[in-house]
Amino acid sequence: MIEVHTAHTAELDAATLNAARILLDAVFEGDMSNHDWEHALGGVHALVWEGEEVVGHASVVQRRLLHGGRALRAGYVEGVGVRADRRRRGFGAAMMEALERVVRGAYELGALGATDEAADF
């Protein structure tokens, strides 16, 4: 069974946030800018650990999306990544399931932008 830990950014220590950032830098092969990382902060993080190492990260943050002239409270999923050698084991699905509960409980809708490589996920 995969254990996903969820916590708000404010509840995570600097070492955990640094480990998540290092993971995402590796997942996105250096294409994770400081701006991208900042977008993943300020909400609820879902983390998968193996021992002392973070092998999966995703977060959901509040955004306002405009549709038909109306502002909608959206839970926007950011910074989704699983270490390359741990993919296809259900970690991503488990993190998304945890964040879907947050979205359903706190927002009008959920949104996610995906890379071409992750579109099938």
CATH number for the domain that contains residue 93: 3.40.630.30
Q: State the pTM of this model.
A: 0.91
Return the pLDDT at 1.
82
Return the pLDDT at 112.
87
On whether the CB atoms of residues 2 and 48 are closer than 8 A, the answer is: yes
50 token code pair? 């193996």
- Please count the structural domains in the chain: 1
pLDDT tens, residue by residue, 79-104: 999 999 999 999 999 999 999 999 99
Low-confidence ranges of the chain (pLDDT < 70): 114-121
Return the pLDDT at 113.
79
Residue-range definition of the domain harbouring residue 54: 4-118
On whether the CB atoms of residues 42 and 61 are closer than 8 A, the answer is: yes
